[in-house]
Amino acid sequence: MPRVNTVLGPIPTEELGLVAVHEHIGYGMPGSELDTRWWKSPEERYDETVPKLRQFHEYGGGTFVDATGICNGRDVNYYQSLSEKTGVHIVASTGFVGGDTALPFFARASVDYLAAHFIHEITVGIGTTGGRAGIIKVGVSRGGRMTDLDKRIYRAAAKAALATGVPVLTHLAIDAENAIAIFTEEGLPLDRVLFGHVDDGVNADKTRDTWIADQGGRIGFDTFGYETELPDPPFWARPRRQRLEHFLRFIGEGRLHQVLASADANCSPLGWPGVKGHTVNYIFEDLIPDLRAAGLDEAAITTIFVDNPASFLSITN
């Protein structure tokens, strides 16, 4: 039976329900946990996070994929407790958001060492938590081109994905020719890869989303809600209408089965103020109503938020 690793153990794929496929319980740069000004007490973190997850569950949300990876504040014991208290399935990541947030110990590691580490986190568990990773995170470092370290991480991720059947999720879909070359060399089918952030305000113009889709990759419109209309829009914000039209145009070209959508929000950001007014619940409060208003039927909405993530997240071996 197809299954997915959650922090509380594997579950049958059909229990995932509606999935927010690229989110964060709390993302911070490596070292933020050492900063007395920025580190949050357990009370603050629960206070900021539990109401958002409860609301997600009440709206009909089933599964929250935490795309945080190693070194950026991932905390699996905490995720296990949040999942038990709110009833939301939480999927944790192995891998790295990008080479530029891998601490030196990992930055110097070989492809084989990194692959073995990812496989351990997927098949045995993350640290002593017993929670197994359900996805492998990789990404392009700041600067817009893949670094040598990024490439090693992508190659290790491809090896780990093939060995375990767990899929790969990328931060940024720029420089996709290099990424696809690595995945293809390793023999990883591209429907096991979600190329993320094709919709963000910085990279949307540079990302060859239709080309990636033509190669067979899955496409992540996963920064919904980072809008220029927010009171404090981040630099990667984009006008709401423009992003929505991009998404509708893309699926209107016959690519409904290749898209995944999410909000990439932080429940409780670590070491930075976060973006006020933006949460995972944008999916229910704004995005799904916008899609209905644009004429999408319930079957299409189920495809985007239930069927496509189920197919993507299911362990294939």
Element (H or E) spanning 149, and its range?
helix 148-164
Q: Looking at beta carbons only, is 131 or 139 nearer to Zn ion? A: 139
Binding site for Zn ion (CB under 5 A): 67, 264
Give the nearest distance from C-beta 91 to Zn ion in angstroms.
13
Contact 84, 40 (CB under 8 A): no
**Is residue 57 marked as binding?**
no
Between residues 59 and 236, which has the closer beta carbon with respect to Zn ion?
A: 236
Q: How far is CA 86 from CA 5, 46, 56, 132, 258, in A?
A: 18, 11, 9, 19, 30
Residue 24 known to bind ligand: yes
Rounded to a whole number of angstroms, the minimum distance from the CB of residue 171 to Zn ion is: 6
**Is 278 annotated as belonging to a binding site?**
no
Asked if 139 and 97 count as a contact pair (C-beta separation under 8 A), the reply is yes
- Give min distance, CB of 67 to Zn ion, in A: 5
Distance CA 30, CA 103 (A): 7
Question: Is residue 35 annotated as involved in ligand binding?
Answer: no
Closest distance between Zn ion and the C-beta of residue 139, in Å? 9
Long-range contacts of 285-293 (CB under 8 A, 24+ apart): 285/59, 286/224, 286/225, 287/224, 287/225, 287/261, 287/263, 290/244
Which of 162, 199 has the CB closer to Zn ion? Answer: 199
Find out whether 22 is annotated in a ligand binding site.
Answer: yes
Q: Tell me the residue nearest to Zn ion as measured from the CB.
A: 264
Residue 75 or 264 having the CB closest to Zn ion: 264
Q: Detail the residues annotated as belonging to a binding site for Zn(2+).
A: 22, 24, 137, 171, 197, 264
